[in-house]
Each structure stands twice: as structure tokens, then as C-alpha cells.
Amino acid sequence: MALIGKIRNNSWVLVVMIALGLGGFILMDMTSGQQSIFGSGQTTLAEINGTPVDVNQFTRTEQIVFSGSAGDPFAQRNTIWNYYLDNIVVREEAEEIGLGVSKEELIDLQFGTNLSPIITNRFRNQATGQIDRQRLSEFQTAIQNNDLAPQLRQFWAHQENEIINDRLKTKINELVGSAMYIPTWQAEMLGADQASKIDFVYVKVPFDAVADSEVSLSDADYEEYLKENKESFHQEEETRKLAYVSFDVKPSTADSAAVRDEVAKLRDEFGTKTDEELALFVQNNFGQMDPAFVGEDALPPAVSDTIGSMEAGQVYGPFMAGNDYQLVKLVDRMVIPDSVRSRHILIQADPNNQAQLASAMSTVDSLKTLIEAGTHSFDSLALAFGSDGTASKGGDLGFAAQGMMVKPFNDLIFFDAEEGELNTVITQFGAHLVEVTDRKYGEEAEEGFKVAYVGKSIVPSDATINAVQDKAVEFFEANGTLEAMQTAAAADPNLEAVVSTGLKENDYFIANLGSSQSSRDMIRWAFGNDPQMEVPSVGDVAPSLYRFQNLEDYYTNKYVVVALHSVREPGYASVDEVRTEIEPAVRNAKKAEMISSAIGGNTDLSAIANQYGAAVDTVKNTSFSSSFITGLGSEPKVVGRAFSLELNQVSAPVQGNSGVFVVKTTYKPANTQAANIPQIRSTQSGSLQSQINAQLINGLKANADINDRRSVFF
């Protein structure tokens, strides 16, 4: 009662506290939402050369382009980012130099005679390889009549932007490419390099001729190597490395036995199912049933040895198949013909276009009725209606072996259709009216089996998952720093502290862990972009475990404890930042010095070969521009040294990519001037144009002023 009295006497304090609390919530909402009252760009995903990219528009574009797609969502998001970056940079450059795409040109690129590559790729008839003008015309009519469905209207608007961007890139590339010129002296030099061919012999002493234990590396060795190769270790963007310990969840012996028992319980019911009930039973028990008959060699090893002695309707198993326990039921068996002769009338249609397919099937049904009525022959209707190359032959496809036809057609003519019977089937090419006219059987005809499977994946039980989680939590709670985590992992033979490669702020893939939301969350934490966690310092352990899921059976298959290992700033690397990465190359360079010193001035290739248990090998008729030589591999320094030698001169030891080489040139004719200078100039110009196409726009993007805030949102 005394406490209540105090509260009553000081109620003003309570009112103030409540007001402050409510005010804090309101202020937080006003300032931290996607759009604050102070006008901060909370929806600005990025700025590219001053042009803002709104996160809501970005997300809408992603939904338009990848709606219903089953691909990697992180890779898809990256594709959309590249689209925005590409689009803004290209349009700015085009505007700067006075390039554009007129309305008339845009219409021609979409529907005219000069179709954009984007249109030709998306509107190609898979059956004929030609542009599906009818489908394209349907879109054009719908657009003109304003009858396009809202979702398709959004997609087409996005596609128009893609077409404009692609056309502008082509114009910019062609503009720069037309300014490229190969002078005669350069063409002559290139021609001489290509025409001059030499022979040489060599001895290769591999790096492992010197044991690692014989090599002592100093800081000076690392510094020297990095000085000579510094451009290879320059980066434009900050990277961070993670150290992590993974606790993998694997099914126990008891889990496996439990799954086997579950599958075994299905055996009796599986065997009693009639043909009408079988398909539903298989579907409900995660099985599969192919209507085709297959030979023994196409069955799992555990089944192929047994199937021949089984009767139709009999069930075998459980047996192991990959990560599953399965049962197999022999549904039927028959002798498979070696080849089948058939004829067909194909009415082409896109199987994904219901209107086209319905029209094609209607035509096929009408043709079937005419033939069955006896008023028309198969040959005459094939000639009149067939839409492929067999029409002129009455639709005759000749004899085909098993597997030569697309699967629906193959299964029909080999397993379902009777000779002389008319059947219809739909394939990727359209609707077919089909008749089997003959079958051939070999002397030792193969027997085929129609089978059905049911089964279950061997997955860890909840108890197994929880036990691994407990171990991960115990490790996590006991090791709060990177050093402690690495020490504890080193002391446990079942654990390993793995260090990732350098990760960028917007990466989503971690080697050994893959691409997933958990991988992305780990990277966001490492860069301090997770709003629920404090910005980490090197050596910090993330304040939570990360769970990874098996994408096939949807269970947690690993728990990961992660720490921030290191941060590498943009620019040139220091030795400490790349010491582990460059150590093998530094060691090889040291070994090369030791091998070269041991060879000294020895010019007897046979003696050098005997000294190291190597062989004297020969390279014949190679040019200076050869990038890869059979038997030698990619060794440009070795080839270059061979060309620099006089005839029969022996080189000093040369460090290559795979060892130390000593080279002797054995055939070196006088240089001859190339006679096909115009052809060389044309070829080199084409090569330069390809390089422009590949690199010019990327160069513009690399020089763009980008304020990238994607990691804050995703």
C-alpha cells in the first residue's frame, strides 16, 4: 500500500515517462522509416553518377523480370543491379555524345526487319529456329489496341528499356571501333609472329624437385615477390575475410534405420495397389513412375540384378539409392523392339501457348477422323498439313532406335502404340498424329521393364539436429573471440576453422557454404550492415549462430560460428594481408633460384635431365603467339626465351609456371614477310572490336561515381 501511495503522490513522473516513451516511438518512426520527415533518402538504394535508384522501383523491376522464377534470388538481384548500373551509365554517355534511339527505330527493333537481339532471343520458335512472327504480331496488336494485360504491359515496358540500352551500347561500341586502325607496320609484325615457326628442345625441372623443408622464406622474399606482382594484388573495393567453424548435421545410424523401417511398412500396401490406384500412391509417397519400359542397364544397380527374376506386381526392397531408401514395383515387362518405323503429321505449336496448342490439337483430331472414316489417306493429309520435312514423304520418319526421338514421341511408338493404330501426342514441337508402321526385333531382343518407386530420404531426426545444435551453442558460448575459436577448433579433430576468401560488401556466396540468406547475413554482419547487431572489429565473433538448410529435404544441415578474420582496404596489398595467399608462389620462386643455382652454367641438356630424373622433350613448329603447346602447357616465358635464342644456342635456366626450364633452339628459319597483310589487318581489327564490345562499357561503369547502399537493404 505504501508503494501505491508513493506512485499516486508522484503520478506526474509516470505521466512524463509515458509521454517520453511514446514520443521516442513516434520520433523513431518519423526518422527511421523508408521516408523520414527530414527528407533523408531512406528509399535510395544507390546513386549512380548522381542518379538515384529507388529500392521500391528496384524491387518492382525484380518482380517483373523474375516473377515465378526458381533461380537463385541473390543472383537475380545482382542481375537487376547490373541492369540499372548499365542503363544509367550507357544513357548518360550516349546523351553526352549525341546518340539516341528514335521512336521509329524502336518500333523497328521490336517488330520490324531489324529486330533487336533481345527480341530474336525471346521470340524464337524452338521447333523451327526461326522468329515466331505470329506471336510477335499478337503482342504488337495488343499493344496498339491497349489490350495487353497489366503484368505483360510492365514486362514490355522493361523490355523496351533493355532494347534501347542494348542499341545504344551497340552504337557506342561501333563508334569507338570505327576509330581503331591497324597500321601496316603492326600488321607486318603480327604476320611475322604468326608465320615464324621454330623447333626447340627443353628440360623441365619441376618445383617439387626441391622439398618444401629445404626452403626457408624471409620477409624480404615476400616483399620482393609482391613488388614484382603488385598489380595482381590491387583491389578497388574493400574486402573482408571470415573465419568460421561449421557443425554439420548428418543422419545417425539410428536415423537411417528408422527411415528404412518406415519405407518397409509401405511394402505390402505398395504390392496390392491396382494400376488405377498406383499413380496416386506413388505420388503421395514421394515416388516416381515412368510410363516407358527400360532395360536392366538403366535401372539402379540394386534393382538390375533382381528385376529379371521378378513377376509383374512384385515389390523389392527397401534398398539404398543415393540418399534414399526405396521400394521398387515391377508394373509390367515386355520385349523392346530394336527399332520402330512410324509416320506422323506435325502441326507446329508452342506447348506453352494454350491457344496455339488447342488449335493444333483440334486440327490433329480432325485429320484423325478423316483417316479413320476412310475418306482421306494418311499420305495425302501429311502432304497437305504436315509442317516439317517429312510432309513430302507422307510423314514417314523411317526406322528409329530407342532414344532417337524426343521422349513423349519415343514412349508412344515404342511402348504404347499398336501397329496401324492412330495416336496423338504433344511434344516440344507441337501436336502430332502418329502411326506405327513396323517394328524390328533383334535375335537377342532386350526385355524392358516398367517400374514404379516409392521411398524416403534419409534425413536426421529432430533429436540428432538438436544434439548438433547443443554442441554448436556450447562451442559458441565458450569461445567469444577469433583466437579462442581457432584454438578450440585446432584442439578438436572433428572441427576446422575455415578462413574464407576476401568477400565484398554485396557478395552472397561463401565457398563451402554456398549462396543462401545465411551466407548473405554473415557478410552483412561482417561489414556492419545488420541493424540488429553492433559493427564488428577484427577478432569479434558474431553474436548469433547461423543456420543453413538442406534445400532438398528442408532441414537444418549445419550450424556455423563465425568471426571477423581480417579487413583489407582498397588499394595495393601488404605482405601481411596476402602472406598465406602468395606463399606457394614465393616458395616456388625460391625453389627456382635454388634449381637455377644448382644447374649453373651447365648447357648439356642430357646431363641436366639425368641430374633431376627428367627427360629432354621437343616442341616442333610453334609460333611466337602460341598460348598453349601440347606437352609443354602454357609457358609464355619459355616460348619467348626460345625465340630469343640463336640457332643451337642453349638458354640459362628460366622459371616458368610449372618448373625451371633450360631451352635449346634447334630449328629457326629466317623471318619471312607475311603476304596477307589485308587479311591480318581485318582479323586484328575484328579482335579489337570484340575487346571493345567486352570492355568499353565495363570501363565506363568502373569510372562511374557510385554510392552503393544495397547492403543496407538486402
Q: What is the pLDDT of residues 127-177, one digit of tens each?
A: 667 788 888 888 898 899 988 888 889 999 999 999 999 999 999 988 988
Domain that holds residue 625: 197-211+577-667
Q: How many residues does the chain have?
A: 714
pTM: 0.76
Nearest-5° angle of CA 650, CA 626, CA 639? 15
Average pLDDT on 112-116 reads 92
Asked if 519 and 508 count as a contact pair (C-beta separation under 8 A), the reply is yes
Q: Give the distance from CA 713 to its chain's centroid.
A: 24
Q: Please tell me the predicted confidence (pLDDT) of residue 14.
A: 36
**What whole-number distance in Å separates Cα of residue 626 and Cα of residue 185?**
21
Lowest mean pLDDT among 33-37, 447-451, 626-630, 691-695: 33-37
Residue in 481, 477, 526 with CA at minimum distance from that of residue 238: 526
What is the number of other CB atoms lying within 10 angstroms of the CB of residue 365?
Answer: 13
Is pLDDT at 26 greater than 80 in this prediction? no
Average pLDDT on 181-198 reads 80
**What whole-number distance in Å separates Cα of residue 677 and Cα of residue 183?**
10
State whether 350 and 396 are in the same domain.
yes
In a domain, 186, yes or no: no
Is pLDDT at 6 greater than 60 in this prediction? no
In a domain, 219, yes or no: no
**What whole-number distance in Å separates Cα of residue 654 and Cα of residue 202?**
11
Asked if 249 and 557 count as a contact pair (C-beta separation under 8 A), the reply is yes
Sign, CA torsion 640/641/644/647: negative
Q: Which amino acid is at 573?
A: A
Q: Which amino acid is at 223?
A: E
**What whole-number distance in Å separates Cα of residue 30 and Cα of residue 37?**
6
Is pLDDT at 120 greater than 80 in this prediction? yes
CA 537 to each of CA 289, 518, 519: distance values in angstroms, whole numbers, following the listed order:
55, 20, 19
Is pLDDT at 640 greater than 60 in this prediction? yes
Q: How many Cα atoms are found within 13 Å in the side-chain-facing hemisphere of 48?
A: 22
DSSP state of 10: T
State whether 324 and 352 are in the same domain.
no
Element (H, E) at 430: strand 430-440
In a domain, 18, yes or no: yes
| Percent of the chain scoring above 90 in pLDDT | 64
Strands 324-335 and 447-457: antiparallel
The per-residue pLDDT for range 215-252, each reduced to its tens digit, is 999 999 999 999 999 999 999 999 999 999 999 999 99
Q: Which three cell numbers stand for residue 540?
A: 569479434
Q: Order the strands of the 197-206 sheet from edge to edge.
A: 616-623, 197-206, 659-667, 654-655
Average pLDDT on 567-591 reads 94
CA 612 to each of CA 229, 246, 557, 596: distance values in angstroms, whole numbers, following the listed order:
29, 44, 49, 12
Domain boundary among 537, 569, 601: 569
Q: Please tell me the predicted confidence (pLDDT) of residue 415.
A: 84
The per-residue pLDDT for range 348-379, each reduced to its tens digit, is 988 877 888 888 999 999 999 999 999 999 99
Beta bridge partners of 623: 197
Q: Which amino acid is at 148?
A: L
Domain boundary among 551, 569, 587: 569
In a domain, 266, yes or no: yes
pLDDT band at 684 (very low <50, low <70, confident <90, very high): confident
The per-residue pLDDT for range 54-97, each reduced to its tens digit, is 999 999 999 988 887 878 899 999 999 999 999 999 999 999 99
Domain boundary among 569, 604, 639: 569
**What whole-number distance in Å separates Cα of residue 3 and Cα of residue 14?**
14
pLDDT band at 341 (very low <50, low <70, confident <90, very high): very high
Is pLDDT at 35 greater than 50 in this prediction? no
State whether 488 and 534 are in the same domain.
yes
In a domain, 427, yes or no: yes
State whether 326 and 352 are in the same domain.
no
Residue in 645, 672, 671, 667 with CA at minimum distance from that of residue 199: 667
In a domain, 146, yes or no: no
State whether 607 and 525 are in the same domain.
no
Q: Which three cell numbers stand for residue 258?
A: 528408422
State whether 599 and 659 are in the same domain.
yes
Place of cell 595495393: 572
Task: Give the CA-trace dihedral at 311, 314, 318, 323, to 10 degrees.
Answer: 80
- What lies within 8 Å, CB to CB, of 555 at 6+ separation is 249, 459, 460, 465, 549
Nearest-5° angle of CA 250, CA 253, CA 254? 105
State whether 414 and 488 are in the same domain.
no
Is pLDDT at 511 greater than 80 in this prediction? yes
Q: Which amino acid is at 498?
A: V
In a domain, 411, yes or no: yes
The per-residue pLDDT for range 198-218, each reduced to its tens digit, is 999 999 999 999 999 999 999
**What whole-number distance in Å separates Cα of residue 257 and Cα of residue 410?**
40
Is pLDDT at 1 greater than 60 in this prediction? no
State whether 610 and 631 are in the same domain.
yes
Residue in 246, 714, 233 with CA at minimum distance from that of residue 507: 714
Q: Please tell me the predicted confidence (pLDDT) of residue 653.
A: 96
Q: Please tell me the predicted confidence (pLDDT) of residue 448.
A: 85
Residue in 217, 206, 106, 207 with CA at minimum distance from that of residue 166: 106
Q: Please tell me the predicted confidence (pLDDT) of residue 17.
A: 38
Q: Is 637 helix (H, G, I), strand (E, B) or coil?
A: helix
Domain count, the chain: 5
Average pLDDT on 261-286 reads 91
Is pLDDT at 11 greater than 70 in this prediction? no
Q: What is the CATH number of the domain that holds 364?
A: 3.10.50.40
Asked if 206 and 659 count as a contact pair (C-beta separation under 8 A), the reply is yes
Q: What is the CATH number of the domain that holds 307?
A: 3.10.50
- Alpha helix (H) ranges present in 11-149? 11-32, 55-66, 73-97, 103-111, 117-122, 133-144
State whether 366 and 378 are in the same domain.
yes
- Alpha helix (H) ranges present in 546-627? 575-599, 605-612
**What whole-number distance in Å separates Cα of residue 574 and Cα of residue 567?**
12
State whether 343 and 329 are in the same domain.
no
Q: Please tell me the predicted confidence (pLDDT) of residue 438.
A: 94
State whether 347 and 427 are in the same domain.
yes
State whether 368 and 314 are in the same domain.
no
The per-residue pLDDT for range 396-424, each reduced to its tens digit, is 999 998 888 998 999 899 888 889 999 99
Q: Which three cell numbers stand for residue 631?
A: 606437352
In a domain, 651, yes or no: yes
